[in-house]
Amino acid sequence: MTEALDRQALASLLQRPELRRLLEVFNDGGEETRVVGGAVRNALLGRPVTEVDCTTTMLPDAITERAKRAGFKAVPTGIEHGTITVIIDGEPFEITTLREDVETDGRHAVVHFGRDFVRDAKRRDFTINALSLGRDGQLYDYTGGESDLAARRVRFIGEARTRIREDYLRIMRFFRFHAEYAESDPDAEGLAASGAERQGLAILSKERIRHELLKLLVATRAEETIRILADHGFLTGLLGGVAEFGRLRRVANDDRDNPVAIWRLAALAVLVEEDAERLREELRLSNDEHKKLAAYAGLLNLLKSWPLPLDATAIRRLVADHEPEALGIVFAATAGEPSPVVHEDAREALARYLSRTEPVPIFPLRGADLVEGGVPKGPKIGEMLARGRQAWLAEGCRTDESYARDLLRRVLKQA
């Protein structure tokens, strides 16, 4: 099945004022510059174009010099790869010199700068990423990317195993782009080549694997593609543990309009707190990402053993100690499971905390309150606050002034 491509969107793309100025400056004096890659692909699909990259016959030093003469800011963001970021009225454009691969080792490539758009296109990964657009609106397609895009198919350029051996991360990118742009089964040659070359993933940095996996998890067909990864033996190696497909499906259905990769990873791969620790090492997660996984694991363990159905009062206590967002993800992941049992008023209460229409309750006592009441500074302050907090949680997390005064009186009396 093929679908019409949005050629009018290409024309609209070229009418963007900053891009028009860039193409005017960099298509002169025997040099040629085109829009390339994702901007062309997404425009043809009628999707938003948020970043515009270009490729050029000019060398990096010449790009910088010409940009400065035109009054643009030039930043050498990837000069060793031939990339200069040119900023026009606050909008950045990456401009990269045409290249050919001289040597590859499965992780990085040694490149030679050139002037041949065909060779530059054929060194890229997938046909749908090799399209380029001239200043005059002409679409250049040297690899069959236009027909693959119309068919919603992700296909390697040339021989799939050769492309993968140049950079084994292309295995992950194959599945990620399939999840985002394809509408049928994975390309058979690409799938077979990925399976045959899977051992190459072991030489990649865990950070690169993490980057692609998290992007895959928020793609349009994430759940379906994750199952394909599992069916073909990739997923266990990536996660180092078991997967919960049902929970991933429920969270993906719940957050479809605003997916968050780390919460989807939690639903997929975290059952206990040890899973959060393992994933931190397996994927080199940031401290914040690990914190979210650990919060999910802790809440999952707590709620799975919660003795009573959860009502609005229980939710108030829970959000006083736990992030409402994490609580919402656990509810979505476990929906339909025997536990926890969640009353409708509990869901409504959580929705108010998530939307900030109701503030999260804050424990009303501070150490200074106890000192002012005559308690000497020292470890005893922390112990008394902890006991007071336990009473506050049990009594519904009230925050009115009269309750705070009464609670302070009782804590001081115990002292």
pLDDT tens digit string along 154-167?
999 999 999 999 99
**Hey, which residues does 110 pair with through a beta bridge?**
103
pLDDT in tens, 112-156: 899 999 999 999 999 999 999 999 999 999 999 999 999 999 999
Token representation of residue 124 = 């890229």
Task: Report pLDDT for 193.
Answer: 98
Residue with tokens 């994702």: 38
Task: Report pLDDT for 78.
Answer: 83
Which strand ranges, in their side-by-side order, compose the sheet holding 139-140?
Answer: 73-78, 83-88, 91-97, 52-56, 33-36, 132-133, 139-140
Q: Quick check: 102 pLDDT over 90?
A: no
pLDDT in tens, 401-415: 999 999 999 999 886
CB-based contacts of 55: which residues, under 8 Å, 6+ apart? 33, 34, 36, 95, 96, 97, 98, 117, 120, 132
Nearest to 133 by CA among 229, 267, 41: 41
Q: Quick check: 380 pLDDT over 80?
A: yes
Q: Quick check: 319 pLDDT over 80?
A: yes
The pairs formed by 349-355 with CB atoms below 8 angstroms and a separation of 24 or more are 349/312, 349/315, 349/316, 350/315, 350/319, 350/324, 353/315, 353/319, 353/324, 354/324, 354/325, 354/328
Phi, psi of 345 (to 5 degrees): -65, -25
Report the Cα 271 to chain-centroid distance in Å. Answer: 21
Among left, alpha and beta (phi > 0; psi -120 to 50; other), residue 233 is left
Q: Quick check: 1 pLDDT over 90?
A: no
- The amino acid occupying position 35 is V
Measured CA to CA, the distance from residue 284 to residue 366 in angstroms comes to 37
Using a 10 angstrom Cβ sphere, with 0-12 exposed, 13-18 middle and 19 or more buried, the burial of residue 316 is buried
pLDDT in tens, 327-361: 999 999 999 999 999 999 999 999 999 999 999 99
